[in-house]
A and B are shown apart, each in its own frame.
Chain A
Amino acid sequence: MTTKQMGVFQRPANMVGAINATLAQEMDRDKDVVILGEDVGRDGGVFRVTEGLQKRFGPGRVMDTPLAELGIVGASVGMAIYGLRPVAEIQFMGFIYAAIEQIFSHASRMRSRSRGRFTCPLVIRTPYGIGIKAPELHSESAEALFCHMPGIKVVVPSSPYNAKGLLASAIRDDDPVIFLEPSRLYRAIKSDVPDEEYLLPLGKGEVYQEGKDLTIVAWGAMLHKAAEAADGFDAEIIDLQTLKPFDEELILSSVKKTGRLVVAHEATTLCGLGAEIAAFVSEAAFGYMKAPVMRVAGYEAVTPMARLEDDFNPGIERIKRAYELVMEY
């Protein structure tokens, strides 16, 4: 874990705590920030991410809603074009499918539709990916769907530290942002998180580990597995952080140095973001490459129950094998 040293007031926090603190910080800072979603108020959310916020900011700014994802996101779009900065929580990423109409048909294109006069500063937060031993719709990694739609930004933190900086930037951003919180990381790791506010820019990745032989691109929970699997390789690991728009410059500068690239993600290989990154690199840096770009990603299958989870999700051995193939090419 890289930990940024910023200020003297910092304390170890997990991702739930970091996100909770960021929401409070942004609500303190800007009266137009409101939170809404199922169980986010009185209860504090399924993963306790909004715990205590309703008590602190009142039911007008931390709103429990009916169990209706399309209505929640649609109302958020209406509030956003009005001028508020809604942060909507969808309980699990699989439940966001019920709200896709409003995200794709309206949030994404309000700006285009209105000659740029409407801005849609909306954040939709949702736990994402495999991590809590719950099947199917509780463990979805559907980030590529959202990356495909013009007008939407997609952000995935990998640590409590970057969760805070990225979420604050997402809330202050004037475009709709899908903020995907890896449920596996909610309480799994701690990092030093400064009390003071800081912003990490959207659209920028970070070099998680420097290296010379091989570039690895990953994000969210997969970043940690990809890093673990890189033991014994001189690998440069990029934490993408923003998937849309992704940091082309950072990837390019790294692959120009290493000449090799592996992209690791949980989501299905076919049409996953790895395919896009591979295509980008082959177009922009073909002459620098010493080996084909490899993807190590999920199978064309529905996320299974706990017993098969590790077979579905790329494990350390599978990831390592991809690194070896690229190195041996």
Chain B
Amino acid sequence: MTSVATIDTDLSTETLIALLTSMLRIRMFEERIVALYPEQEMKCPVHLCIGQEAIASGVCANLEVKDYVFSNHRGHGHAIAKGADFRPLMAEFYGKKTGCSAGKGGSMHIIDLPRGVFGTSAIVGGGIPMGVGAALASSLKRDGRVTIIFFGDGASEEGVFYESFNFAALKKLPVVFVCENNLYATNSPQTARHSTCRIADSAAVFGSHGACIDGNDAVSVYWSAKKAVEKARAGQGPSLIEALTYRWKGHVGPEADHEKGLRPKDELFEWIKRCPIEGFKKQLLDTGLLNEERIADITTSIKVEIDDAIEFAKMSQYPSPEDLLKNVYFTPDGGI
């Protein structure tokens, strides 16, 4: 598989720059976590998605604000690509009361209601049936929404994936299943876990369309998702996109796996050559659609936004012991 992104002349310059910006927002956000983690103020396990940015960005570029995204434990990128506010995200990682889960959920529990980020959790595959339920509700209410369910290759082994896909296909629900196949579930390679290595083929069993694509090529992801989202919105049922990619960091935490001897160093370096951002950026520069100055402007403004979120997070209060008992059951005050 090659991963040299091809600039598509059918895409507007605006969309191309938006894709790059979205990927940079994710990358810079994640890299800042890597930088800050040794301070040990962020007492929360983090599952970073560095190396996988093109999938979240390419998919979410096709969505409207009203559309929903369900995600998983490696969900920072999905939330950011859907437009989630950095402040409550960062505050959550620091366990602060201003976080998106009021400092109780941490990095694995991201919710941003106004942007349609409908939640993530530690249960692999846990978001899949919920996404189908939201799409079922959309279908009943005819609200024109599309729901995206992001999950990994590991989740495709859970029975609930098949239960949910069947239900979605049966009811022709407006949902797109996006499998980010980064080839590993924690430390086990896909070849040690799957009898067949083409997850996309599962869709055919339910009479739906499945596509296996280069998940490090934002443009390829964009077009594939566009087709699937349009189909879903038109009431033609679900699609499955299997996007091949690689996570550069360990399953959890800011270190790379080869530092612990968990995955081969050469493999990582091969994938770093296929970086979803570098190749794409170079082509935008080569074709003259962007110049270094413009890229510097973009990265500066992202940096300002991240700095602000970190300051906000660090300045925010921790939840108090009284907060422990809040939001377990309904209370008329509607939570904090």
Given A83-B137, A111-B327, A119-B330, check contact A73 B335 (CB 8 Å): no
Tell me, yes or no, whether B100 is within 8 Å of chain A by CB. yes
Tell me, yes or no, whether B64 is within 8 Å of chain A by CB. no
> Which residues in chain A, 137-158, are within 8 Å of chain B measured between CB atoms?
150-151, 153
Q: Are A113 and B132 in contact (CB under 8 A)?
A: no
Q: Are A115 and B160 in contact (CB under 8 A)?
A: no
Given A65-B167, A101-B123, check contact A78 B159 (CB 8 Å): no
Q: Pick the residue among A66, A80, A110, A114 that contacts B163 (CB under 8 A).
A: A66
Given A106-B123, A118-B111, check contact A75 B327 (CB 8 Å): no
Q: Are B328 and A74 in contact (CB under 8 A)?
A: no
Which of B43-51, B77-85, B102-110 is the contact stretch?
A: B102-110
Complex Cα–Cα for A82 and B166 (A): 21
Q: Pick the residue among B123, B163, B326, B328 that contacts A151 (CB under 8 A).
A: B328
Given A66-B167, A70-B163, A81-B118, check contact A116 B130 (CB 8 Å): no
Complex Cα–Cα for A113 and B328 (A): 9
15 contacts between A and B (CB under 8 A): A70-B129, A70-B160, A71-B132, A71-B167, A77-B133, A78-B130, A79-B134, A81-B118, A81-B119, A84-B140, A102-B126, A112-B101, A116-B335, A117-B335, A118-B111
Tell me, yes or no, whether B138 is within 8 Å of chain A by CB. yes
Tell me, yes or no, whether B289 is within 8 Å of chain A by CB. no
Q: Are B121 and A150 in contact (CB under 8 A)?
A: no
Tell me, yes or no, whether A60 is within 8 Å of chain B by CB. yes
Given A71-B164, A82-B138, check contact A116 B331 (CB 8 Å): yes
Q: Are B133 and A75 in contact (CB under 8 A)?
A: yes
Tell me, yes or no, whether A68 is within 8 Å of chain B by CB. yes
Given A73-B129, A78-B136, A117-B113, check contact A106 B121 (CB 8 Å): yes
Q: Pick the residue among A60, A82, A106, A114 that contacts B126 (CB under 8 A).
A: A106
Tell me, yes or no, whether B170 is within 8 Å of chain A by CB. yes
CB contacts (< 8 Å) of A114 on chain B: these are 100-101, 111, 113, 119, 327, 335
Q: Are A79 and B331 in contact (CB under 8 A)?
A: no
Question: B211-226 toward A: CB 8 Å interface, digit per residue (1/0)?
Answer: 0000000000000000
Complex Cα–Cα for A79 and B171 (A): 14
> Which residues in chain A, 247-300, are within 8 Å of chain B measured between CB atoms?
none
For the A-B complex with A71-B164, A77-B130, A119-B330 known, give 8 more contacts whose Cβ atoms are closer than 8 Å.
A60-B140, A71-B160, A75-B129, A81-B118, A101-B160, A111-B328, A114-B111, A118-B113
> Which residues in chain B, 124-145, are within 8 Å of chain A measured between CB atoms?
126, 128-138, 140
Q: Are A106 and B111 in contact (CB under 8 A)?
A: no
Interface size on A, residues (CB 8 A): 41
Complex Cα–Cα for A300 and B101 (A): 40
Given A68-B163, A71-B164, A116-B334, check contact A82 B133 (CB 8 Å): yes
Complex Cα–Cα for A205 and B18 (A): 59
Q: Pick the residue among B70, B118, B126, B166 that contacts A68 (CB under 8 A).
A: B166
Chain A nearest CB from B117 CB (Å) reads 10
Chain A nearest CB from B305 CB (Å) reads 22
Given A70-B163, A113-B105, check contact A79 B126 (CB 8 Å): no
CB contacts (< 8 Å) of B113 on chain A: these are 114, 117-118
CB contacts (< 8 Å) of B164 on chain A: these are 71, 74-75
CB contacts (< 8 Å) of A112 on chain B: these are 101, 104-105, 327-328
Chain B nearest CB from A214 CB (Å) reads 33
Nearest chain B residue, comparing its CB with the CB of A107: B130
Tell me, yes or no, whether A213 is within 8 Å of chain B by CB. no
Tell me, yes or no, whether A195 is within 8 Å of chain B by CB. no
Nearest chain B residue, comparing its CB with the CB of A61: B140
CB contacts (< 8 Å) of B132 on chain A: these are 71, 74-75, 78
